[in-house]
Amino acid sequence: MWSSPRPSGYTLIEVMVVIVILAVLTSGLAMPIAAQLQMRRQGEARRQFDEAKEALLGFAAAHGRLPCPASASSRGEESFAAGGDASTGACERFYDGWLPAATLGLAPLDADGFLRDPWASPRNRVRYAVYGGDVNGVASALTRANGMQSATLAGLGAASRYIMICSAGESATSSTCGPAANQLTRRAAFVLLSLGPDAQSDPAPGSDESRNIAGNPVFVYHENSEARGAEFDDLVDWVPVHIVASRLLAAGRLP
């Protein structure tokens, strides 16, 4: 009888108390950890973008042009339109392709040769768009070999538009941001885009996220939003045309 059950009862209660304390503590910790994880991924994505931007600018300095975006089947290599090549600069898709990570020699790549953002799902491949329009009468001047040289510095400076980045999408069309106040820049030579944590779900039709994958030279970037039907968590980064020109100048490819 002197090994009474009472002590083991106490320990049960104590274990419950411990579990409660544990639950309280971990719930207190869990929030910051989730937020921190998200922040870390955002930071990681920005670093990835910085690396990709440098690789793209290095490619431009070495080749006198920007690479075409990769297509879904190009295994991370840049993809020209049928009959196109570096001498014409005609890309298969200028505005809804992916970063040609294999062409740029970036790592680590997924099995299909794409770079994935830190959210890592197959739909989280880093996207890339490059301006494909005429500059000073030179077709696809940014992706054509020495196209920027043909367009001349003055022509590059005088061109009225490149890729547009809008701060709000509601009045944007497939070619403009609508009112001037909505426009962040009209001189982006190329754009990097990550679909963010919600890449798995299709964006609502007409939403700002849907505009970013619509395949036109107009992109939207603003603060994250969780408003129903207008969720926005895309990461967008871009490089203005004059930085590309400055790298070409430094490499002796301009004027």
In the complex, the smallest distance separating the C-beta of residue 102 from another protein, rounded to whole angstroms, is 26
b/e map of 64-89 (b: 16 or more CB within 10 Å)? bbbbbbbbeebbbbbbbbeebebebb
Which of 21, 23, 62, 120 contacts another protein by CB under 8 A? 21
Interacting residues of 221 by C-beta distance below 8 A, sequence separation 6+: 165, 166, 167, 184, 234, 236
**Which CB sits closer to another protein, 62 or 158?**
158
In the complex, the smallest distance separating the C-beta of residue 200 from another protein, rounded to whole angstroms, is 26
Asked if 68 and 99 count as a contact pair (C-beta separation under 8 A), the reply is no
The window from 64-72, 85-93, 138-146, 155-163 that contacts another protein (CB under 8 A) reads 155-163
Quick one: 24 exposed, middle or buried, by C-beta within 10 A (0-12, 13-18, 19+)? exposed
Q: Which of residues 27-86 bind another protein (CB under 8 A)?
A: 28-29, 32-33, 36, 39, 43, 46, 50
Which of 1, 2, 107, 160 contacts another protein by CB under 8 A? 2
Q: Is 161 in the site for another protein (CB under 8 A)?
A: no
Query: Could you give the CA distance from residue 210 to residue 99 in angstroms, rounded to a whole number?
Result: 19
How do 218-220 and 163-166 pair as beta strands? parallel
Which of 72, 145, 153, 214 contacts another protein by CB under 8 A? 153
Task: Count residues binding another protein (CB under 8 A).
Answer: 50
Largest CA distance in the chain: 101
Which of 238, 217, 245, 61 lies closest to 151, judged by CA? 245
Alpha helix (H) ranges present in the chain? Answer: 6-63, 101-104, 147-151, 153-158, 208-212, 241-250
Q: Is 243 in the site for another protein (CB under 8 A)?
A: yes
Q: Which of residues 202-241 bind another protein (CB under 8 A)?
A: 221, 236-238, 240-241
**Which CB sits closer to another protein, 70 or 165?**
165
- Cα–Cα distance list, 243 to 60, 61, 173 (Å): 11, 11, 27
In the complex, the smallest distance separating the C-beta of residue 7 from another protein, rounded to whole angstroms, is 5
Q: Is 16 in the site for another protein (CB under 8 A)?
A: no
In the complex, the smallest distance separating the C-beta of residue 224 from another protein, rounded to whole angstroms, is 13
In the complex, the smallest distance separating the C-beta of residue 57 from another protein, rounded to whole angstroms, is 10
**Which CB sits closer to another protein, 151 or 195?**
151
Q: Is 120 in the site for another protein (CB under 8 A)?
A: no
Please report where in the chains the tokens 């200028």 appear, as a residue: 94
Please give the single-letter amino acid code of residue 51: E
Query: Which residues make up the interface to another protein (CB under 8 A)?
Result: 2-4, 6-8, 10-11, 14-15, 18, 21-22, 25, 28-29, 32-33, 36, 39, 43, 46, 50, 152-154, 156-158, 165, 181, 184-185, 187-188, 221, 236-238, 240-243, 245-246, 249-250, 252, 254-255
